Structure 1
Amino acid sequence: MKQAGRPPGLSLKRQLLLWLLLPQLVLWLAGGVLAWRVALNYAEKGIDQSLTQSVRSLARQVKPIGSGLLVDFPRAAQDILEQDPTDRVGYMVSSPPGRFVLGNGQLPPPPPELIIEAGEPLIYEARLAGKPVRVALLEVNYGEADSPQRLRVQVAKSLAVQQRIARELVADMLLPLLVLGLLLGVLMYAGITRGLRPLKRLEAQLGDRTGRTLTALPPIELKEAPQEVHSLAAAVNQLLDAVRRSLGQEKRFLNDAAHQLRTPLAGLVSQTELALQESDLQALKERLGKVHAGALRSAHLVHQLLSLARTEAEVSLQPLDVAALAREVAREWTRRALAAGIDLGYEGEDTLALHGEKLLLRESLNNLIENALHYAGQGTAVTVRVRREPDHCLLEVEDNGPGLRENDLPHAFERFWRASELPGGCGLGLAIVAEIAQRHGGTASVHAAQPSGLLVRLSLPLPGPKDRA
């Protein structure tokens, strides 16, 4: 339940934008890191290729002469190597390796674990003046056979150019992607706004219904909308329909109660007024007898109306033994049946399980037995019967009384319809029975019994194999 004062959460539009743009931002950042690594790798390959060419070229300018060396390194080449102050190239010639002969600085030696072969250039990383550099090394042999010597040529280059190249490559890659991402964000915003329009129309239609009575609310119509919005509108329409049905049942119940109680209450008032004016004790006693009979009829009517309202509510079906229930109800009516001179008995299954509401099924049996005892007459027989069909349970109450005429049978389940003028009935008993059968997914029917009498049958569905498991 929403607490008072709690600020509302993000709108659906903002949540959609957040969940669409956040992965895009994460991918853009991951792409930037990957692009940076790739750019550094390619820049490193370019630097290594340049250093390898430089060290080979420099090694060719050093020519052995006898036991000495002739270094033919023109000033122009030296100026080219040293022209960029931010990316200065260091070089060094040493012979034997490590003993400075020529160069513009002392370069760091290679790592001890590096295996050096004459004529094969090697690349390694080192630090020069506290800055990282890439160093290319090439060693060559020279001198006489009896006095061999080795010459080492080194060329070093800082990694500033590598990082500059990587930054330029990353910028050239990510800036267009950023522009495309912004454009994609704008398109997504427009698409989400357009996609949420059916919800706005749904909100407008619900807003238009504010102030109307619930029973007069028309269903929501969305002709052009995504399937999810159609499903939402259908669910709202189902809710509105359930509310309309519930309010209609309540209104019908109130109308029925007001209509049916008006007459007996008016009779009670008139009888009590006449009783107050009576001076004769016998006449007063007769008046009070009529008041008592009217009060009993009113109480019976109220009970039937409440039972009818209860049957129109939601029913919770539970497993029960309908045969045992029928025998129990029949036993409860035995004393009244004997007092009326009627033979009340039970026939059928010893046990029969189904899913039902015990209270409502008991109410339906009470109504059927009460009707049979009331209208069958003295000296008749009333039989309560439970029979099994392949997929249905038949719950029957049969009497051999006068029954109903053929043209009256279709009206038996109508509310407040009565075929007899005998006092005590209100025309709701069979209507309640039909409603209870419908709530259990079954049907109620009435038939003429042979040779005379009336048979009322409830056909209720039995649980399938899966439900019985």
Structure 2
Amino acid sequence: MRHVPGVSLQRKLLLWLLLPQLVLWLSGGFLAWRIALQNGEKGIDQTLTQSVRALARQIKPIGDGLLVDFPKAAQDILEQDPADRITYMVSSPPGRFLLGNAQLPPPPAQVDVAVGEAFLYQARVDDKPVRVALLDVDYGTASTRQRLRVQVAQSLTVRERIAQELLERMVFPMGLMGLALSAVVYAGVLRGLQPLKRLEAQIERAGALPHTGTTPLPPIELTSAPQEVHSLASTINRLLETVARGQQKEKRFLNDAAHQLRTPLAGLIGQTELALHESHEPEVQARLQKVLSAAQRSAHLVHQLLQLARSESNVVMQSIDLAALAREVAREWAARALAQGMDLGYEGVDHLPAQGHPLLLREALNNLIDNALHYAGPGATITVRVGHEEPGHWALLVVEDDGPGVPAEHLGDLFARFWRGSDKAGGCGLGLSIVEEIALRHGGRTVAEGLVPKGLRVGMRLPAG
């Protein structure tokens, strides 16, 4: 089952760090707006309280009557700003209009206004919110006591304007601080995740080594990293050690088993061949021939297992001439090819320097030629070819034949262990697997493609020296 990766750790950290910051920034802006409104309202209240007391002082009782000494200049000052005018109303008794603006609403009915104390409340005039200051004053004689009400109202536009100006002055620096904090958080997250990036890079470099799968992977080393990353690296190192021990045990078992089987199989083959020479009964010879064929196949399998174990061992590379090595191996197989009615030859460059292990490359080419001789069929032409392949400066070592080939859908199975292209006797399905192991050991890769009109090309691409 394929697992889809979730959100990256970097995105999660940024989300959990920047999202609360955004929420706090918006909350701070709203709180600043509310504080600005409250401060504006407080300033309006102070102004209205002073205005209503000053206006009340301008109304002087004379006997049972009133003298309103309110100059025209003061009235002009109160009403000089149409957008933020201050209006007033004088009534006696309260609610009975005497002068000013008759539209000022009374205070809420459930409020008991104390004489001589300013009372503040909100109302609406011309469908606009206003703040009203109210002051009740007693006047007249003891027998004819009367009450005078003075109201002064101011539009709340000034409060909103003050709050808006304050908020505008705060938003810009708060925005800059938010951006700066976001940048610091982003840089901190990137810096904090660098040890994980280095750990990932070390694992990728270790996985890309040419000898991957043949020698234990090097341990992960982090000189400076948080404790959690060190713990992760230590866990990975313990896992690598466990895998390396398992590989070593498997290689030792394979090598020991193959060595233990070589001697009895060689004795079985020798004794069977002697029995074939000494026996003259057809039935006995037929049975002995089957025993000999089975013993030879077993010996060939043991040999291939030994070569497989050798290809997975840690060996040292050296400078070689790949073309000279290929010509030498082709000459060694020429006699067997002629005996089987096939034409084996070499084509390619005269010299091709490369870095490799001669014994392993020789074994790989032996397996390629043996595979071609086994499956190409009588009369086939087999060519060992060495040359350059661009781009990338690759050295190409392949064996071509004009035999029946392999269906295109099975080309990818050629290098699988114990896979065979036909039921023809002989072979154990390990030869090309060994070729692939040797190619990987040299930092290269295998090649398998069909030829036109028929045939097969199998080999290796190796880094040129």
TM range (shorter): 0.5 to 0.7
C-alpha displacement of 1:10: 4.3
CA contact (8 A) 1:92 1:155 kept: yes
Within 5 A, what are the aligned runs for 1:205-284? 205-209=202-206, 210-212=208-210, 213-214=212-213, 215-279=215-279
Map Cα deviations across residues 226-280 of structure 1 (whole Å, 9 max, x no partner). Answer: 2122122212212222221111111111101111111122222223333334449
Structure 1 residues 237 and 37, CA gap change in structure 2 (3 angstroms): same
Deviates more, 1:27-36 or 1:173-182: 173-182
Q: Select the residue among 111, 116, 120 that pairs with 1:114.
A: 111
Counterpart code for 1:120:
E
Counterpart code for 1:236:
I
What TM-score do the two structures reach when normalised by structure 2? 0.57
Counterpart code for 1:133:
V
Residue aligned with 2:145, SS: strand
Within 5 A, what are the aligned runs for 1:334-349? none
Q: Select the residue among 175, 185, 188 that pairs with 2:185.
A: 188
CA contact (8 A) 2:91 2:149 kept: yes
Whole-angstrom distance in 1 between the partners of 2:158 and 2:113: 27
Q: 2:48 aligns to what?
A: 51
Identical positions, percent: 68
Counterpart code for 1:186:
A
C-alpha displacement of 1:2: 3.7
Residue aligned with 1:249, SS: helix
Map Cα deviations across residues 298-344 of structure 1 (whole Å, 9 max, x no partner). Answer: 9xxx9xxxxxxxxxxxxxxxxxxxxxxxxxxxxxxxxxxxxxxxxxx
Query: Is residue 99 from structure 1 mapped to residue 96 from structure 2 by the alignment?
Result: yes
Counterpart code for 1:266:
A
Whole-angstrom distance in 2 between the partners of 1:219 and 1:136: 82
Map Cα deviations across residues 100-150 of structure 1 (whole Å, 9 max, x no partner). Answer: 111134200111101012111111111111111111111111112221111
Q: Select the residue among 52, 56, 62 that pairs with 1:65.
A: 62
Query: Is residue 166 from structure 1 mapped to residue 170 from structure 2 by the alignment?
Result: no
C-alpha displacement of 1:22: 0.9
Q: 1:35 aligns to what?
A: 32
Counterpart code for 1:123:
L
Q: Select the residue among 122, 125, 150 that pairs with 1:153.
A: 150
CA contact (8 A) 1:90 1:105 kept: no
C-alpha displacement of 1:71: 0.7
C-alpha displacement of 1:9: 4.8
CA contact (8 A) 2:216 2:240 kept: no
Deviates more, 1:180-189 or 1:205-214: 205-214
Map Cα deviations across residues 359-385 of structure 1 (whole Å, 9 max, x no partner). Answer: xxxxxxxxxxxxxxxxxxxxxxxxxxx
Q: 1:133 aligns to what?
A: 130
Query: Is residue 204 from structure 1 mapped to residue 185 from structure 2 by the alignment?
Result: no
Whole-angstrom distance in 2 between the partners of 1:279 and 1:96: 150
Map Cα deviations across residues 148-175 of structure 1 (whole Å, 9 max, x no partner). Answer: 1111100111111111222223333343
Residue aligned with 1:109, SS: coil
CA-atom RMSD in angstroms:
2.8
C-alpha displacement of 1:83: 1.4
Whole-angstrom distance in 2 between the partners of 1:104 and 1:152: 13
Whole-angstrom distance in 1 between the partners of 2:188 and 2:119: 57
C-alpha displacement of 1:24: 0.5
Counterpart code for 1:157:
Q
Q: 2:346 aligns to what?
A: none
Moved over 6 A (4+): none
Map Cα deviations across residues 174-210 of structure 1 (whole Å, 9 max, x no partner). Answer: 4322211111111222222222222222222222221
Counterpart code for 1:191:
G
Q: 1:12 aligns to what?
A: 9
Structure 1 residues 2 and 88, CA gap change in structure 2 (3 angstroms): farther
CA contact (8 A) 1:119 1:140 kept: yes
Structure 1 residues 42 and 2, CA gap change in structure 2 (3 angstroms): farther
Whole-angstrom distance in 2 between the partners of 1:113 and 1:97: 15
Structure with the bigger RCO (C-alpha within 8 Å, sep 6+) is 2
Residue aligned with 1:153, SS: strand
Counterpart code for 1:53:
Q
Counterpart code for 1:142:
Y
CA contact (8 A) 2:107 2:121 kept: yes
Unaligned runs of 5+ in 2: 303-465
C-alpha displacement of 1:16: 2.1
Residue aligned with 1:40, SS: helix
Residue aligned with 1:144, SS: coil
CA contact (8 A) 1:100 1:106 kept: no
Residue aligned with 1:14, SS: helix
Q: 2:447 aligns to what?
A: none
Counterpart code for 2:64:
S
Deviates more, 1:238-247 or 1:262-271: 262-271
CA contact (8 A) 2:134 2:149 kept: yes
Residue aligned with 1:196, SS: helix
CA contact (8 A) 2:61 2:67 kept: yes
Q: 1:26 aligns to what?
A: 23
Counterpart code for 1:13:
Q
Whole-angstrom distance in 2 between the partners of 1:279 and 1:163: 121
C-alpha displacement of 1:21: 1.1
Counterpart code for 1:254:
L
